[in-house]
Amino acid sequence: MDPAALLKEHILRLAQKLPAAPQIFSRLSLMLNDVNADLDKIANLISIDTGLTARVLRMSNSVFFRGASPVQSLDEAINRIGFREIHKMVGMAMTEQIYANGLPAYRMNAKQVWENSVATALAMESIANEAGYDAQAAYTLGILRQVGKLVLGRILEKEQPGAVCPDDIDVLSWERARLNITNHEAAAYIFQSWKLPPRLCAGMRFQHEPEEHPEEGPEGAQLHLAGWVVSALGIGTQSESALWELNSDRLDLAQVSEEFMQSCVNNIQAELDSLKAQMA
């Protein structure tokens, strides 16, 4: 087997060893695309992971979602807040769970990864709404953007202990030099193994050069612009900051205007601040 195939196999093996939460979230995203989605099946899917279930129930009882009485079950939580919000909540809970130790190789602690992931998801949702695309799928792509770093970080921890991406080198060059693969390429492999829609896989894979693959749809450009928003908010990483560019080709592919993107920065900051305050 050639080295590239061996590396892909290694990445997918490690992805299988992740907590169940990301795959549950991915399956939930697909399930909710069905207009006849069944509440019991959704609750049963989430309850596979007891840690994820506990986080979802805790979030359901936060100031942001709490009703007159505390939520005591997943069925009750789903009934109270609805499918759309339970999807977002599971995504946030998943992020909190799987990045509990942060991403040390990328100089990100758990809080920074959570804020970065949630802000990316919120920006993707906003961009998709503006462009007339599926906001739920966009949210899914945004909140899972860091999963490739999670797996590559585990490879580095085992094979190159102490390796940390310098701030003065772009992360893609550093990953390529260290592992001969980048985090977004690794994430695209993982997405495929989770049977996520091809457009989401392509969006992840081509987020840094979307104009070279216009036939793959707008998701790559939209994810790139969401990364630009997060960087503008100051919650990205130094090693990624030079990668994001707000140019006409990417705006056209994403089907949004520069004016919208500039306003998006303030809107996402306000939404993120409100979310953090209400869930505290």
Q: What is the pLDDT of residue 113?
A: 96
Whether residue 145 contacts residue 223, with contact meaning beta carbons closer than 8 Å, is answered with yes
**pLDDT tens figures, 178-224:** 999 999 999 999 999 999 999 999 999 999 999 999 999 999 999 99
Q: What is the pLDDT of residue 66?
A: 56
Nearest to 197 by CA among 215, 175, 213, 219: 219
Q: What is the pLDDT of residue 112?
A: 96
Q: What is the pLDDT of residue 270?
A: 96
DSSP-assigned letter for residue 103:
B
3-state secondary structure of 72: coil
In angstroms, rounded to a whole number, what is the distance separating the alpha carbons of residues 82 and 224?
Answer: 29
Residues of the chain with pLDDT under 50: none
Q: Which CATH architecture has domain 3-279?
A: Orthogonal Bundle (1.10)
- In this prediction the pTM is 0.91
Q: What is the pLDDT of residue 131?
A: 97
Q: What is the pLDDT of residue 58?
A: 83
Give the other-Cβ count within 10 Å of 151's Cβ: 22
Domain borders along the chain are: 3-279
Whether residue 208 contacts residue 38, with contact meaning beta carbons closer than 8 Å, is answered with no
